[in-house]
């Protein structure tokens, strides 16, 4: 089983936790992508339980609360200090210090799952996708947004676990998730958006 110690990114995010909300990239990059993911989810059924994997300080969940005020919100992140910040900013949500590859949630307990811009940090991406499929209820949805870059460039970018859009699609299929939408909506970035559903 993968552990936080296997992933050097965790301590890096712990060190950034206190200033993470003030980073300039939050407003012009992260917020835009998170709102796009939430807009894609708007057409889905009204979820009772929403989970964000790699939730950081809970920024997406705070937006989800505006859109789904009655939903139970769950955030999962391996960086303990990020979770401490998230708990202060959104105390009514449920937060867990955990890896995507080992979600501390029961089977079929989540209606709508998100992961925005954390996938390239996961130690075992295929295992993480399988874990999200496990906790999704039948007809549940998973929305993934992450950066995809050419393999040659990933060799020069620290802490980046490269996978092509085709390989990510394959991970979803192997986890028995049906990809309903896969797009790169902005020419100015290399962001991949995927919407997938669990059919059974």
Count of other CB atoms within 10 angstroms of residue 151: 9
**How confident is the model at residue 1, as a pLDDT?**
43
Q: How far apart are CA 174 and CA 179, in angstroms?
A: 11
Q: Residue 55 is inside which H or E element, if any?
A: none
Find the helix packing angle between 165-174 and 125-135, rounded to 10°: 40
* Cβ neighbours for 173, distance < 8 A, ≥ 6 positions apart: 179
Candidates 102, 74, 107; CA nearest to 4 is 102
Cβ–Cβ < 8 Å for 13, 79: yes
Residue 30 in tokens: 């992260």
Domain housing 158: 4-198
User: Is residue 153 scored above 90 in pLDDT?
Assistant: no
Mean pLDDT of 134-156: 81
Which backbone phi and psi does 101 adopt, to 5 degrees?
-75, -5
187 — pLDDT class (breaks 50, 70, 90): low
> What is residue 120's DSSP assignment?
G
Q: Do residues 111 and 41 lie in contact, with contact meaning Cβ atoms separated by under 8 Å?
A: no
Give the whole-angstrom CA distance, residue 112 versus residue 121. 21
Q: Which residues pair with 137 in a beta bridge?
A: none
pTM: 0.88
Contact between residue 73 and residue 90 where contact means Cβ atoms under 8 Å apart? yes
- Number of domains making up the chain: 1
pLDDT digits (tens, 9 = 90+) for 3-33: 455 577 888 878 888 877 777 666 667 888 9
List, edge to edge, every strand of the sheet that includes 191-198: 94-97, 72-77, 49-53, 110-116, 136-147, 191-198, 177-183
What would the mean pLDDT of 184-197 be, rounded to a whole number? 78
CATH of the domain at 154: 3.40.50.150
* Paired tokens of 172: 């979803």
Q: Is the CB of residue 76 less than 8 Å from the CB of residue 51?
A: yes
């Amino acid at each position: 089983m993968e552990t936080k110690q296997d992933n050097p990114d965790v301590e890096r995010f712990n060190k950034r936790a206190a200033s993470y909300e003030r980073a300039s990239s939050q407003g012009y990059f992260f917020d835009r992508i998170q709102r796009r993911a939430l807009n894609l989810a708007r057409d889905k059924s009204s979820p009772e339980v929403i989970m964000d994997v790699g939730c950081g300080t809970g920024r997406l969940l705070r937006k989800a609360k505006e859109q789904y005020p009655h939903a139970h919100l769950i955030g999962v992140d391996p960086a303990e200090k990020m979770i401490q910040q998230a708990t202060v900013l959104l105390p009514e949500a449920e937060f867990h210090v955990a890896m995507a590859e080992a979600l501390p949630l029961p089977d079929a307990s989540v209606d709508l799952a998100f992961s925005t811009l954390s996938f390239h940090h996961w130690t075992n991406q295929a295992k993480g996708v399988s874990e999200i499929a496990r906790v999704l209820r039948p007809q549940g949805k998973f929305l993934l947004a992450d950066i995809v870059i050419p393999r040659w460039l990933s060799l020069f970018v620290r802490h980046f676990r490269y996978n092509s859009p085709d390989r990510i699609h394959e991970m979803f299929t192997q986890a028995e998730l049906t990809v309903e939408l896969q797009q790169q909506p902005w020419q100015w970035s290399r962001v991949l958006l995927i919407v997938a559903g669990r059919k059974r």
